Structure 1
Amino acid sequence: MTYDPVSANPLHGNPLKSRADVENALHDLFNPLLPFFSDGGARVRLDAAGAHFDRAAADLEGFARPLWGVTPLAAGGGSFEHWELYRRGLANGTDPEHPEYWGTVNSTDQRMVELAAIGFTMRMVPQLVWEPLDEKAKANLATYLKHARSFDYADNNWKFFRILVDLGLEECGVAFDRSLTEKYLEELDGFYLGDGWYRDGNIRRIDHYIPFAMHFYGLIYARLARGDEARVAAYKERAQLFARDIRHWFDEDGGTLAFGRSLTYRFACGGFWGALAFADLEALPWGEIKGQFMRHLRWWADKPIANRDGILSIGYGYPDLFMSESYNSAGSPYWALKAFLPLALPADHPFWTAEETPAVTSKKPVPLKHPGMVMMHTKGNVVALSSGQQNWQMRHGTEKYAKFVYSSRYGFSVEVDERAYHQGAFDGALAFSDDGRHYRVRETNEVAKIAESTLFSRWKPWADVVVETWLIPANGWHVRAHRIVTPRALHATEGGFAIGRADASADSCIDESGRAVARSQTDVSAIVDLGGTREGRAHRALPNTNLIVSKTIVPQLRGDIAAGTTVLMTAVMALPAGAEAEALLARPPAPPDLAALEALFAREGVDVSAIMVPERF
């Protein structure tokens, strides 16, 4: 029988409608890990792929990350039969004389990340992981945690990890220096921008770490902290504001915007909705919060996201190392279990008893000043026009942060050969080449502004080439206007949305002057040159470049750019196949008036918050 990779997904076949379904899903995700626990219980090693940190830290990651799910399960009264295994692992992993010792933290270290889950577990269920330990094991665990927390953590969401460890130490009666806790709480407040939005450190990055880290940990603190009423109230107020915006990063089917780093954590993106419930914060009506949470889990249930043995793979919509980060080990995807935080709540909590309500979407574009996005809801999709963010630290950081447009349904693509310009996907991007082999795309912006529902950026692919780009929503389409000033001739390729393609070239494509169209059984994607003469190409991108599906077609426009000033006007759309898509395809928008756009930004343009820190190299 032909192997069906979807069937290996532990969520496959689960209706994911009730609390019991969610509890079953957690067991189905955890159980495939059991054969990979070491004899001493302290290490979980899932394959031979490496991360930038050492093997002991990777094995700790495999051990600790499932705790984000099983700890709430136990706190909520659910059955979990493997606490003895975890107690053994805690004792051996923190014992310097044991061969499964996790190694000593001596500076900023991946172990700091994973110890947060242990601190959370000690705070939530000390009767299961602390109290049964003998005195030597308790002393070793306390010493290990206190030593790790004495070092500086990374200057971003990591600062919450010390705070979570401290919650556990406090619950277990271990004395520690509380001034370090207060120091990081104050520094985390320094990342707050307003309107519910943070940045992830003093950098040009506002991504899923805001909901699944900054707010997620803040809401845990809001539920578990003692004697810090003012900060608890602030965290709740910020989360309430944030919920009104972040719901527009989710589409009507539960998919979330594919944007930024660490997307291999998958349904951790739904963790914010569960954290609202955990903190008993009805930031939106409970039916809406529950609907966002459950739809998101269901969205993942038909994706081939696990290996044949049911172990979650590195990747997004399928196993894909190309899109991974240097800090992704085989255990990394299990941060997805952060989504199971609501299992700590009893079955009669209003989050669980509420009837799901549909996603709240908007027919009008939704501008978001802080991340520099304009959100557009279309059928089964949410699209973000984007300007103002960057990331040069991560693999494929340019593709993850600096494209013009991102999508929940169509994801985005990463380039896999920097010396193959003519094979590039360049979806959501404008690429230039001066030699036909190498290429440059937008990596950062000198200026990024938003006015009403339009974005503007000025960027330089080379020091002597200046590009000004306006991004404009246009009733199911979006328009990109580019003014390019170059002292030498270039070649340019601009890409639309990537859609999945069938085997044996069974899809229908149009390649002609002025436009390219790709039609599959499920989707239609098009790019149109508004008044120009660029050649259209429905490009079969290299495999395993897109996050959602492994083989794609990307409609592109290609042409020469003469020395001097050139203006390009581009319209882009993608929709599920059907009458609506064909009707939209027949009505591309008119090109915008550049003078009117310039006047708009002179009158109303404000800086995108994301760009308002110095560039970092």
Structure 2
Amino acid sequence: MERRKFIGAFSLAGIIGTMSPKNIFAATDQAKVTAGLAGNDRDYWWKLLYKIANPVVFNLANGTLVKNMPLEKSPTFDSRSLHVTYLEAVGRTYAGIAPWLALPDDKTAEGVARKKMRLAAIEGLNKCFTPGSPDALNFATDHQPIVDAAYLAQTFLRAPKALWEPLEEGTKQRIIAAFKSLRNRKPFKSNWLLFGSITEAFLLNINEQYDNDRLNEGPRQLREWYKGDGWYGDGPNLAFDYYNSFVIHPMMVDTLAVMADKKIVEQKLYDQALKRMQRFAVGQERMISPEGTFPPIGRSITYRTGAFQALTQIALMEKLPTSIKPAQVRCALTKVKQNMYGTPGTFDKNDWLQLGFCGHQPKVADYYTSTGSLYMATLSFLPLGLPASHEFWAAAPVAWTSKLAWSGADFAKDYHVDY
């Protein structure tokens, strides 16, 4: 194939050498970021995303993910196979980089880096789904693959032309078979129901045979668990953590989008879910302090900025509530990222993420957390799927809500909603 010839001629080893995050995200850039002086937010975002995703994407493309990925696990890690960590790393990383990789090629420094990562991402999937691959991903054992197959499915829904259509036909068939193989395990009665649903929604979207009960169960059950004012229960009870953002709102909306498009549910169910996600996004923006921090509440805080996936997906969809300017989200999250990813210990010497919330803090990791789990962090970079000319990136810097409020300036009032 011509694509294979190109990649072979270009040499992925060469790509890694010339596009390494140490070259892209230079020490001088980090010094400016740490000092709060970075002037181009988009430059900072894409370079940081490249740094985070680089070890996963390029090792997978080279067939060295299992060989080179460190296996740090929580001190309380349970009895599940640690091999699930590789699918975690791939599914979560790809779901976060998908909108950025879907942008058209251009000749800017960003465009060149983006194209290289996209080609490597495709090559990696083709390689790891080849029989006998040293990086073969585990779908056959444990319940954890239900989770990360869902993020891979969400990847393909977010960037079908960039990351699904270019795959080799054999790779596509093996991914489809892997997704279907998960039906011998039932998701737990929690946010996990949406993992099963979105995987089936992807199969529906590509006109493959799908499991109707598994597809419908997540949206149906989560609607019953809705608590009001933008919050779903994670099960029958409300959990005050970030799972409404890690999973529930994004996967609810993405699943219902497919179902509504295929006339399996009425459009009004999608519209309702979108309104609830918008309301939740209002709260997320207000939770970012004037200093660019956010509360370390609930479990899975080692997923770091993945906590803001709901807010960033609403921004990517261009559906932010009128009370929030896109530049507010950009400026607030830039400051959060500067605070979090500039802290020593966040990355190891080879730029793999390490367990922790802000730095290296293994003791805050939950019993299901290992190195691959941490790549949920990429889910806060979704607005990179908007072009540089978009208001989100091009508008002048503005203060976000809490910064306005604590400086004595006027800011938007907030009210409970009933939908």
Same fold (TM over 0.5): yes
Equivalent residue runs for 1:34-113 within 5 Å: 36-37=59-60, 39-40=62-63, 43=66, 46-50=69-73, 51-52=77-78, 53-77=80-104, 78=111, 79-91=114-126, 93-94=128-129, 98=133, 100-105=135-140, 109-113=143-147
In 1, Cα distance between the equivalents of 2:46 and 2:314?
18
In 1, Cα distance between the equivalents of 2:257 and 2:58?
34
User: Does the CA-based 8 Å contact 1:45-1:331 persist in structure 2?
Assistant: no
In the TM superposition, what is the alpha-carbon distance from 1:150 to its structure 2 partner?
5.2
Seen in structure 2, the aligned counterparts of structure 1 residues 351 and 232 have a Cα distance that, compared at 3 Å, is farther
In 1, Cα distance between the equivalents of 2:55 and 2:177?
32
In the TM superposition, what is the alpha-carbon distance from 1:85 to its structure 2 partner?
4.3
Match of 2:390 among 341, 349, 353: 349
Q: Partner residue of 1:260?
A: 298
Cα deviations by residue, 1:377-404 (Å, 9 ceiling, x for unpaired): 799xxxxxxxxxxxxxxxxxxxxxxxxx
In 1, Cα distance between the equivalents of 2:404 and 2:396?
24
Cα deviations by residue, 1:546-570 (Å, 9 ceiling, x for unpaired): xxxxxxxxxxxxxxxxxxxxxxxxx
Q: Partner residue of 2:247?
A: 213
Which structure exhibits the higher relative contact order, with contacts defined as CA atoms closer than 8 Å and separated by 6 or more residues? 2
In the TM superposition, what is the alpha-carbon distance from 1:59 to its structure 2 partner?
1.7
In the TM superposition, what is the alpha-carbon distance from 1:93 to its structure 2 partner?
4.2
Q: Does 1:28 align with 2:51?
A: yes
Cα deviations by residue, 1:307-343 (Å, 9 ceiling, x for unpaired): 2222211011221211111111112211100011112
Q: Does 1:296 align with 2:331?
A: no
In structure 1, list runs of 5 or more residues that go unmatched.
Answer: 1-6, 365-376, 380-617
Cα deviations by residue, 1:79-107 (Å, 9 ceiling, x for unpaired): 23244544454345445655543334356
In 2, Cα distance between the equivalents of 1:156 and 1:171?
24
In the TM superposition, what is the alpha-carbon distance from 1:165 to its structure 2 partner?
2.0
Q: Tell me the number of residue pairs that the alignment of Structure 1 and Structure 2 aligns.
A: 361
User: Does the CA-based 8 Å contact 1:315-1:324 persist in structure 2?
Assistant: yes
In the TM superposition, what is the alpha-carbon distance from 1:11 to its structure 2 partner?
6.0
In structure 2, list runs of 5 or more residues that go unmatched.
Answer: 1-25, 105-110, 409-419
TM-score (norm 1): 0.53
Seen in structure 2, the aligned counterparts of structure 1 residues 9 and 265 have a Cα distance that, compared at 3 Å, is farther
Instruction: Name the amino acid aligned to 2:138.
Output: G
User: Does the CA-based 8 Å contact 2:250-2:309 persist in structure 1?
Assistant: yes
Q: Secondary structure at the match of 2:279?
A: helix
Q: Partner residue of 1:318?
A: 359
In 1, Cα distance between the equivalents of 2:389 and 2:184?
41
User: Does the CA-based 8 Å contact 2:64-2:134 persist in structure 1?
Assistant: no
Q: Does 1:201 align with 2:224?
A: no
In 2, Cα distance between the equivalents of 1:44 and 1:111?
20
Q: Secondary structure at the match of 1:193?
A: strand
Seen in structure 2, the aligned counterparts of structure 1 residues 241 and 348 have a Cα distance that, compared at 3 Å, is same
User: Does the CA-based 8 Å contact 1:314-1:332 persist in structure 2?
Assistant: no
Instruction: Name the amino acid aligned to 1:105.
Output: A
CA-based RMSD: 3.3
In the TM superposition, what is the alpha-carbon distance from 1:186 to its structure 2 partner?
0.3
Seen in structure 2, the aligned counterparts of structure 1 residues 75 and 132 have a Cα distance that, compared at 3 Å, is closer
In 2, Cα distance between the equivalents of 1:229 and 1:29?
37
In the TM superposition, what is the alpha-carbon distance from 1:43 to its structure 2 partner?
4.4
Instruction: Name the amino acid aligned to 2:70.
Output: D
Greater radius of gyration (CA)? 1
In 1, Cα distance between the equivalents of 2:138 and 2:308?
32
In 1, Cα distance between the equivalents of 2:301 and 2:162?
32
Seen in structure 2, the aligned counterparts of structure 1 residues 98 and 238 have a Cα distance that, compared at 3 Å, is same
User: Does the CA-based 8 Å contact 1:220-1:278 persist in structure 2?
Assistant: no
Match of 1:327 among 360, 365, 368: 368
Q: Secondary structure at the match of 1:80?
A: helix
Q: Partner residue of 1:338?
A: 379
User: Does the CA-based 8 Å contact 2:355-2:371 persist in structure 1?
Assistant: yes
Q: Secondary structure at the match of 2:369?
A: coil
In 2, Cα distance between the equivalents of 1:9 and 1:159?
45
In 2, Cα distance between the equivalents of 1:9 and 1:230?
50
User: Does the CA-based 8 Å contact 1:45-1:62 persist in structure 2?
Assistant: no
Seen in structure 2, the aligned counterparts of structure 1 residues 147 and 307 have a Cα distance that, compared at 3 Å, is same
Seen in structure 2, the aligned counterparts of structure 1 residues 351 and 363 have a Cα distance that, compared at 3 Å, is closer
Q: Secondary structure at the match of 1:65?
A: helix
In the TM superposition, what is the alpha-carbon distance from 1:249 to its structure 2 partner?
2.4
Seen in structure 2, the aligned counterparts of structure 1 residues 103 and 131 have a Cα distance that, compared at 3 Å, is same
Instruction: Name the amino acid aligned to 1:336.
Output: A
User: Does the CA-based 8 Å contact 1:69-1:341 persist in structure 2?
Assistant: yes
In the TM superposition, what is the alpha-carbon distance from 1:71 to its structure 2 partner?
0.9
User: Does the CA-based 8 Å contact 2:87-2:145 persist in structure 1?
Assistant: yes
Seen in structure 2, the aligned counterparts of structure 1 residues 171 and 331 have a Cα distance that, compared at 3 Å, is same
Seen in structure 2, the aligned counterparts of structure 1 residues 95 and 272 have a Cα distance that, compared at 3 Å, is same
User: Does the CA-based 8 Å contact 2:290-2:403 persist in structure 1?
Assistant: no
Instruction: Name the amino acid aligned to 1:347.
Output: A
Seen in structure 2, the aligned counterparts of structure 1 residues 166 and 43 have a Cα distance that, compared at 3 Å, is farther
User: Does the CA-based 8 Å contact 2:348-2:354 persist in structure 1?
Assistant: yes
In 1, Cα distance between the equivalents of 2:276 and 2:160?
30
TM-score (norm 2): 0.75
Match of 1:154 among 188, 193, 200: 188
Choose between structure 1 and 2: higher helix proportion: 2
Q: Partner residue of 1:403?
A: none
Seen in structure 2, the aligned counterparts of structure 1 residues 303 and 94 have a Cα distance that, compared at 3 Å, is same
Instruction: Name the amino acid aligned to 1:102.
Output: L
In the TM superposition, what is the alpha-carbon distance from 1:12 to its structure 2 partner?
5.8
User: Does the CA-based 8 Å contact 1:268-1:338 persist in structure 2?
Assistant: yes
Most deviating of 262-271 and 341-350: 341-350
Instruction: Name the amino acid aligned to 1:46.
Output: M
Choose between structure 1 and 2: higher strand proportion: 1
Q: Does 1:229 align with 2:267?
A: yes
| Percent identity of equivalent pairs | 22
In the TM superposition, what is the alpha-carbon distance from 1:347 to its structure 2 partner?
2.8
Equivalent residue runs for 1:539-554 within 5 Å: none
Instruction: Name the amino acid aligned to 1:314.
Output: L
Q: Does 1:126 align with 2:153?
A: no
